[in-house]
Amino acid sequence: MTDIRSPLLVNMPEIQLGAHTLRSHGTQVARVHMHDWLILLLLVVIEIILNVIEPFHRFVGEDMMTDLKYPLKDNTVPFWSVPIIIIILPFTVILTFYFIRRDVYDLHHALLGLLFSVLITAVLTDAIKDAVGRPRPDFFWRCFPDGKGVFHNVTGDVQCTGSKSVIKEGHKSFPSGHTSGSFAGLGFLAWYLSGKIRVFDRRGHVAKLCLIFLPLLFAALIGISRVDDYWHHWQDVFAGGLLGLTVASFCYLQFFPPPYDADGWAPHAYFNMLAESQNGNRSSTDNVSRLTARQSEIESSYVQPHVSRDNALDSNSILEDMESGERY
């Protein structure tokens, strides 16, 4: 059969599973990517700031309240559960593959890609929320808890009488943070699984595709719940899903080959390590060969004078014999 593996896998020695574990190489790998972890901390700080500042208060007239009078409901998917769904759940799957392969490169880069996917999406989402300031579908009841609308006599803008924190949250409809975060975390998980189980191996196993669609379906249901709870318009959910999945795709491909690639089952760093390992072995072999050649040259330089001296003695003895023969 024809070997369909990439030249890198064909030419390089296979590293034994467990050769690069969290204990043996974890600190070394993390140190190499120290600047990436610092950027993650910076993203956390930016995200906190974006949640503290006041969003743009868009003009809302009395005639616009028709589409903003949906009832104020609790969240089907609570805020506290979102980090569990989009970070802890994917990380559990990543950790499971680490215990199977014992590859710290895969563990580190998958975790780093997941966190980047979620945090970049969160920063983009909240930055857009604050800039757009679109009212939520339940904005009327946030603004007027007693149901009595109050509007400015001149401008016609709303004069909210509700709690400031509730009103502030009411101006953050576009895009949906639940949806964008779900597609960022679970979308990354779908990419990760597709590479690990080799979905695109051209063998036609549809069951693998079904497994990949499960995280995406879960994320889609979370987005639909935001419309059902009247916290978002459908456009908010659609934009949030598109944003989260796009960022997840970029972050995954930053650390891993595409799933349809022959090397799609491991991160780029793993194959870079293999290449450096082979180059190191080749350099050691070349050095040994050069030392051996040099030693041979040195030995030959000592051997050749002795050989020449012996040849000279033999020649002299022959000449003496010839001369003695002529005398007699």
Q: What is the pLDDT of residue 265?
A: 77
pLDDT, tens digit (0-9, with 9 covering 90-100), for 218-246: 999 999 999 999 999 999 999 999 999 99
The reply to whether 235 falls in a domain is: yes
Task: Given the residues 108, 109, 171, 232, select the one marked as catalytic.
Answer: 232
pLDDT, tens digit (0-9, with 9 covering 90-100), for 50-71: 999 999 999 999 999 989 999 9
The reply to whether 135 falls in a domain is: yes
The reply to whether 307 falls in a domain is: no
Does the pLDDT at position 120 exceed 80?
Answer: yes
Tokens coding 17: 């599973």
Instruction: Please give the average per-residue pLDDT across 4-17, as a whole number.
Output: 43
The reply to whether 188 falls in a domain is: yes
The reply to whether 303 falls in a domain is: no
Q: What is the pLDDT of residue 92?
A: 96
Q: What is the pLDDT of residue 6?
A: 43
pLDDT, tens digit (0-9, with 9 covering 90-100), for 242-273: 999 999 999 999 999 998 888 777 777 667 77
State the Cα–Cα distance between residues 156 and 64, nearest whole angstrom.
11
pTM of the model: 0.78
The reply to whether 312 falls in a domain is: no
Q: What is the pLDDT of residue 104?
A: 85
Q: What is the pLDDT of residue 100?
A: 87
State the Cα–Cα distance between residues 128 and 146, nearest whole angstrom.
30
Task: Given the residues 20, 108, 109, 178, select the one marked as catalytic.
Answer: 178
Tokens coding 239: 């934009």
Q: For the chain, what is the HEC assignment?
A: CCCCCCHHHHHCCCCCCCCECHHHHHHHHHHHCHHHHHHHHHHHHHHHHHHHCCCCCCCCCHHHHHHHCCCCCCCCCCHHHHHHHHHHHHHHHHHHHHHHHCEHHHHHHHHHHHHHHHHHHHHHHHHHHHHHCCCCCCHHHHHCCCCCCCECCCCCCECCCCCHHHHHHHCCCCCCHHHHHHHHHHHHHHHHHHHHCCCCCCCCCHHHHHHHHHHHHHHHHHHHHHHHCCCCCHHHHHHHHHHHHHHHHHHHHHHCCCCCCCCCCCCHHHHHHHHHHHHHHHHHHHHHHHHHHHHHHHHHHHHHHHHHHHHHHHHHHHHHHHHHHHHC
232 is catalytic: yes
Q: What is the pLDDT of residue 11?
A: 40
pLDDT, tens digit (0-9, with 9 covering 90-100), for 158-195: 999 999 999 999 999 999 999 999 999 999 999 999 99
Task: State the chain's mean pLDDT as an integer.
Answer: 82
Q: What is the pLDDT of residue 310?
A: 52
Backbone angles phi, psi at 103, to 5 degrees: -115, 105
Does the pLDDT at position 119 exceed 80?
Answer: yes
Does the pLDDT at position 142 exceed 50?
Answer: yes
Query: What distance lies between CA 316 and its chain's CA centroid?
Result: 82
Angle between helices 89-101 and 104-132 (to 10 degrees): 170
| Cβ pair 227, 128 in contact under 8 A | no
Which range among 15-29, 90-104, 119-133, 314-328 shows the weakest confidence by mean pLDDT? 314-328
Tell which wins on pLDDT, 283 or 108: 108
Q: Taking the C-alpha atoms of 269, 272, 274 and 278 in order, what is their torsion angle to the nearest 10 degrees? A: -160
What confidence tier does 3 reach under pLDDT thresholds 50, 70, 90? very low
Measured at the CA of 108, the angle between CA 106 and CA 114, to 5 degrees, comes to: 95
| Cβ pair 191, 257 in contact under 8 A | no
The reply to whether 252 falls in a domain is: yes
Q: What is the pLDDT of residue 5?
A: 43
178 is catalytic: yes
Tell which wins on pLDDT, 102 or 313: 102
Range of the domain at 93: 15-266
Q: What is the pLDDT of residue 7?
A: 43
What confidence tier does 9 reach under pLDDT thresholds 50, 70, 90? very low
What confidence tier does 21 reach under pLDDT thresholds 50, 70, 90? low
Number of domains comprising the chain:
1
Highest mean pLDDT, choosing among 12-16, 264-268, 291-295, 314-318 = 264-268
pLDDT, tens digit (0-9, with 9 covering 90-100), for 278-307: 665 555 555 445 545 555 554 554 445 544
